[in-house]
Amino acid sequence: MVSVDATGHSGGLAFLWRNKDEVSLCSLNKNHIDVMVTMNSNTIFRLTGVYGEPDRSKRQETWSLLRNLASYNSAPWCLIGDMNNVLSQADKKGGRPYPAGLVQGFQDVVHDCELIDMHMEGYQFTWEKGLGINRHTEIRLDRALVTQTFLDLFKEAKLTNLEISTSDHSPLWLEP
């Protein structure tokens, strides 16, 4: 197991794995844990847990991090976690529209890093605020972004929103 502590009530990351898989830590900070995973002694891929910068005025820091991580290694790659951003206005229900500049900035980094937004089974939103009031807002902040080589390696990969949580975020389940 490797983890990064939360700051107050936000952030925090943890990776746990089975003893049969070999995992080596590449890098970590308050916004990511980046590891290389070897399964069955021959299937190698990269897995990065992400906690996107929650302060919108600092969101560029997350995008710079993703670009830097993309340039580090060409192994099949999956980034998963709370990106704290949306890829389109359809990722948000209720409240004011998401700032267009933030949507475009996130779309740009996904394009620049040649990432694919994995289809998610289950409910489309992963975060909510104001349940039971007229200002109820739901957003898809949590997702998995993958390279084509990851999808080629794991042809049956499936991402599911488990929806059951005491948190304001739903847990995601990724089956390679």
According to the 3-state scheme, what is the secondary structure of the chain?
A: CEEECCECCECCEEECCCCCCEEEEEEEECCEEEEEEEECCCEEEEEEEEECCCCHHHHHHHHHHHHHHHHHCCCCEEEEEECCCCCCHHHEECCCCCCHHHHHHHHHHHHHCCCEECCEECCCCCEEECCCCCCCEEECCEEEEECHHHHHHCCCCEEEECCCCCCCECCEEEEC
Q: In terms of pLDDT, which residue wins out, 9 or 99?
A: 99
> Residue 70 has what pLDDT?
96
> Residue 124 has what pLDDT?
94
Structural domains counted in the chain: 1
> Residue 3 has what pLDDT?
86
Predicted confidence band at 145 (pLDDT cuts at 50, 70, 90)?
Answer: very high
Can you tell me the mean pLDDT for 118-135?
84
Average pLDDT score, the chain? 91
52-110 pLDDT per residue, tens: 999 999 999 999 999 999 998 899 999 999 999 999 999 999 989 999 999 999 999 99
> Residue 132 has what pLDDT?
62
Percent of residues, the chain, with pLDDT higher than 70: 97
In this structure, what CATH number is given to the domain that contains residue 113?
3.60.10.10
15-31 pLDDT per residue, tens: 888 777 889 999 999 99
Residue 125 has pLDDT above 80, yes or no: yes
> Residue 133 has what pLDDT?
64
Provide the residue range defining the domain that includes 111. 2-175
Can you tell me the mean pLDDT for 23-46?
92
